[in-house]
Amino acid sequence: MNKATDLAKSGKKHLDDGNYNDALSFFDQALSLEPTNPDFWNLKGVALRSLGRYDEASYCYNKSLEIEPRDKESS
């Protein structure tokens, strides 16, 4: 794994443990290394949503979809 993936993995652990601010910090670090990774943007959105920061979360979800559009036919 690379450093960005390791950071995101640590962020996911914090997210799962309910440490949303810590998770957000790890996702920000991962995104600083891989700013076009849609999964990192999505995870950052989850952390922000969990903190009640809905507008910022929405931005992250949209950024994720902008990078990697999901197939609308599959849902």
Q: Which residue is it, tokens 């600083």?
A: 32
Q: What's the pLDDT at 70?
A: 77
List b or e across 18-56, with b for residues whose CB sees 16 or more CB atoms inside 10 angstroms: ebbebbbbbbebbbeebeebbbbbbbbbbbbbbeebeeb
Going along the chain from its start, the domains and CATH numbers come out as 3-70 (1.25.40.10)
Q: What is the mean pLDDT of residues 46-57?
A: 98
Q: What is the pTM of this model?
A: 0.90
pLDDT in tens, 16-42: 999 999 999 999 999 999 999 999 999
Average of per-residue pLDDT values in the chain: 94
